[in-house]
Amino acid sequence: MIEDKGVKVFIDPAAVMYLLGTQMDYKKDKFSSSFVFNNPNETERCGCGESFKI
């Protein structure tokens, strides 16, 4: 579990090594809002933004 500014994020221990260095941000536009992940280990990303390859 990681907690910052009152937000708790739970991460599966098996996934931690793939997420090292990842930055998470919250983006709010006029018509939508979403979490944005920037993973420096990422080599590819699908067009929909749902999955990535390391």
In a domain, 47, yes or no: no
Q: What distance in Å separates the CA atoms of residue 7 and residue 41, rounded to the nearest whole number?
A: 24
In a domain, 20, yes or no: yes
What's the structural domain count of the chain? 1
| pLDDT band per the 50, 70, 90 thresholds, residue 52 | confident
What range defines the domain where residue 28 resides? 2-39
Q: Is pLDDT at 6 greater than 70 in this prediction? A: yes
CA 34 to chain centre: 11
Query: Structure pTM?
Result: 0.59
pLDDT tens-digit readout, 24-44: 898 999 999 988 888 888 888
Average pLDDT, the chain: 86
In a domain, 46, yes or no: no
Q: What distance in Å separates the CA atoms of residue 48 and residue 20, rounded to the nearest whole number?
A: 23
Helices (H), the chain: 16-19
Taking CA atoms, 41 is separated from 8, 14, 21, 23, in Å, by 23, 16, 8, 11
Give me the percent of the chain exceeding a pLDDT of 70: 98
